[in-house]
A and B are shown apart, each in its own frame.
Chain A
């Protein structure tokens, strides 16, 4: 087999994987960028999104939600679309509740916020365990996006194509929202100088509440999309929060495109090591992080610190 045929499938798979990593990191990036809060509950909210989706997709989903019975009569495809819209809203409400608890930590040592979100992560994970049980679960997905697709003499997952396409769509929509809408401008201004934004009459409390809710909704969307690939279990959030953190630091804290590029880089590195040095695949992203941060402490597209002048 020549080098191109040997490498090409793994390069393409790395890109697909990178898009999924970027999707996981988007909500994390938004919250840390605007609010300077390292939300360690991101993973648990990611898991909560998947569990909400599970309850809405199947009557065997663990929680008996009476209203969901209407949904169960619909075809799987329709259910899946509705779940993608409804479940993130539910998680956003939980996220907003968490933001209200966080308010007392604003302006204080960042460690307080870190500890609070860490505690929230543990509480959420245990609540998930109580509500849905500890066993492995899987979300049914529409038959149109299940199974394999033949590319040459290789078979690739249809669902991964769908998930990668969905990640591109979400990245595009978020970029448009941040760059082309007045609310996006407010969010960016809030990230740049929150006191000035408040001085101009913007309700900063409401802005932060919205951003946190939006960030957690993005975590939930990532959880729903990743559920058919990773499966669902109470501690699945740990699988999400660690790469999200790595990607944010690698890309530069608060940088939108930094997060996307870092996600792709991590995907490529994990994908290629997964193929050619599998036992290194899990630590490869950390080695990449160490290398980048050693030579460029602010990450790939992070803002230059005053200390570097």
Chain B
């Protein structure tokens, strides 16, 4: 059979092949944007400035902005200043997706930093991965963030629920008893944190007598507190966050149930407790940093914070500010190490990077796990301070676990990072 190819068919075929190749070929995944070396490096700040985690989002923002100002005061990065735009995620994943798309496509940000709520962090991470934009999840602590929802472009800076459970569970079983009850906020962070707590506690001999799901937005905990009393557990391990946690704490303290049973509150974010009085802190909980740590640099940071933010109601920096502040400084250092804003080079500069205890103002060294992109770091266990030295001294640090002791071993199997060559590249 003779096949006749007309000139028109040949031209149409060539055009179609070129079109398909342009849109579906490898170039789609590896765009190189024009360098703009004379312009500041634009960073998108995605903080939860309203909604359930508004207080923490604003504290995190103070940290990232203060770090940017300090970096610029020292001449910027690679001779370029950092500039930023801020958008409120409203603690809502759908809003976060919209904001991330707009920041990348319209504002052409080079990097994205910020999130408190795990749903928000996951949503931004997905958009960032699609475009290859390096994203720092500063304060969302769901174990899934460095587990099944990990991304090649995403780096997780806070300790996760699994880290806090690892640091606390063994001691809690020994000290308080084996009969445990779990309170689980009914969303991704709550479920994953309780799952991690259950696994670790059972491993150390605990018996989980019940798990009560707490819907997001619960304002009345009286039925739950009555049920807790009826169950008579030795330990209540609570994975309840944001406004729900504040209301639960208030009602628990009001009923004087904060002493017995023992409350293990996975993590206590500083903005959620500061201003309520030292008496309102209850249970044993984890944190990544405290402003009274007896370590070099801590006092200086407190003074710098107070000079920069004299009017904020939170008089001293806490863990949420700290994570935002440290992450932004590490981003600048990674760009310097990479010698470029090229995202793939920056990712390589971050993976496996070691940070000394001195630089981190923590008791142990930290590193960015190349397998999960999670900052493995010191985890502190604390409780309400019965001998405060001043009105900001809410916490008594009980102990600390090293990065290796607190590490979530499941990250290695749960996290499947996308290959670097499948990650879109860019340089801004």
Q: Which of A246-274 contact B (CB under 8 A)?
A: 270-274
Q: How far is the CB of B261 from chain A (nearest CB, A)?
A: 12
Q: How far is the CB of B239 from chain A (nearest CB, A)?
A: 14
Interchain CB contact under 8 A, B313 and A135: yes
Cβ of A195 < 8 Å from any Cβ of B?
no
Cβ of B419 < 8 Å from any Cβ of A?
no
Q: How far is the CB of A61 from chain B (nearest CB, A)?
A: 12
Cβ of B218 < 8 Å from any Cβ of A?
yes
Interchain CB contact under 8 A, A134 and B223: no
Q: Of B215, B227, B250, B257, which one neighbours A275 at CB under 8 angstroms?
A: B227
Interchain CB contact under 8 A, B218 and A1: no
Cβ of A194 < 8 Å from any Cβ of B?
no
Q: Which of B215-251 contact A (CB under 8 A)?
A: 215, 217-220, 222-224, 226-227, 229-230, 243, 246-247, 250-251
Name which residue of chain A comes closest to B211, CB basis. A278
Q: How far is the CB of B242 from chain A (nearest CB, A)?
A: 10
Interchain CB contact under 8 A, B223 and A231: no
Interchain CB contact under 8 A, B254 and A136: no
Q: Of A16, A155, A230, which one neighbours B255 at CB under 8 angstroms?
A: A155
- Of A156-164, A174-182, A292-300, the one contacting chain B is A156-164
Cβ of B83 < 8 Å from any Cβ of A?
no
A282 to B54 Cα, complex, angstroms? 22
A219 to B163 Cα, complex, angstroms? 44
Interchain CB contact under 8 A, B55 and A134: yes
Cβ of A279 < 8 Å from any Cβ of B?
yes
B55 neighbours in A (Cβ, 8 Å) = 134-136
Interchain CB contact under 8 A, A278 and B222: no
A230 neighbours in B (Cβ, 8 Å) = 219-220, 247
B214 neighbours in A (Cβ, 8 Å) = 278
Q: Of A16, A148, A229, which one neighbours B257 at CB under 8 angstroms?
A: A148
Cβ of A65 < 8 Å from any Cβ of B?
no
Interchain CB contact under 8 A, A271 and B58: no
Interchain CB contact under 8 A, B257 and A136: no
- Of A5-13, A93-101, A205-213, the one contacting chain B is A5-13
Name which residue of chain B comes closest to A157, CB basis. B255
Cβ of B79 < 8 Å from any Cβ of A?
no
Cβ of B71 < 8 Å from any Cβ of A?
no
Q: Of B50, B213, B229, B276, which one neighbours A138 at CB under 8 angstroms?
A: B276
A9 to B314 Cα, complex, angstroms? 39
B276 neighbours in A (Cβ, 8 Å) = 136, 138
Name which residue of chain A comes closest to B231, CB basis. A1
Cβ of B271 < 8 Å from any Cβ of A?
yes
Cβ of A110 < 8 Å from any Cβ of B?
no
Interchain CB contact under 8 A, A157 and B254: yes
Interchain CB contact under 8 A, A282 and B222: no
Q: Of B186, B223, B275, B313, which one neighbours A10 at CB under 8 angstroms?
A: B223
Q: Which of B231-289 contact A (CB under 8 A)?
A: 243, 246-247, 250-251, 254-257, 271-272, 275-276, 280
Cβ of A17 < 8 Å from any Cβ of B?
yes
Q: How far is the CB of B116 from chain A (nearest CB, A)?
A: 13
Interface size class of B (residues with CB under 8 A): 35 or more
Interchain CB contact under 8 A, B220 and A229: yes
Interchain CB contact under 8 A, A160 and B222: yes
B223 neighbours in A (Cβ, 8 Å) = 10, 13-14, 270-275, 278, 281
B32 neighbours in A (Cβ, 8 Å) = none
Question: Which of B218, B223, B226, B250 is the most central at the interface, judged by chain A CB atoms within 10 Å of its CB?
Answer: B223
Question: Which of A135, A159, A160, A233 is the most central at the interface, judged by chain B CB atoms within 10 Å of its CB?
Answer: A135
Interchain CB contact under 8 A, B230 and A6: yes
Q: How far is the CB of A309 from chain B (nearest CB, A)?
A: 41
A165 neighbours in B (Cβ, 8 Å) = none
Say whether, besides A9-B226, A10-B226, A13-B223, A279 and B186 are in contact (CB < 8 Å): yes
Question: Which of B250, B280, B314 is the most central at the interface, judged by chain A CB atoms within 10 Å of its CB?
Answer: B250
Q: Of A9, A136, A278, which one neighbours B272 at CB under 8 angstroms?
A: A136
Q: How far is the CB of A104 from chain B (nearest CB, A)?
A: 31
A1 to B230 Cα, complex, angstroms? 9
Cβ of B420 < 8 Å from any Cβ of A?
no
Interchain CB contact under 8 A, A274 and B246: no
Interchain CB contact under 8 A, A134 and B254: no
Cβ of B209 < 8 Å from any Cβ of A?
no
4 further interface pairs, Cβ-Cβ under 8 Å (given A138-B276, A148-B255):
A13-B222, A135-B271, A148-B254, A148-B256
21 contacts between A and B (CB under 8 A): A9-B226, A9-B230, A134-B58, A135-B271, A135-B275, A138-B276, A153-B229, A156-B255, A157-B222, A157-B251, A230-B220, A230-B247, A272-B223, A275-B226, A278-B214, A278-B227, A279-B213, A281-B215, A281-B218, A281-B223, A282-B215
Residues of B within 8 A of A (CB): 50, 54-55, 58, 186, 212-215, 217-220, 222-224, 226-227, 229-230, 243, 246-247, 250-251, 254-257, 271-272, 275-276, 280, 313-314
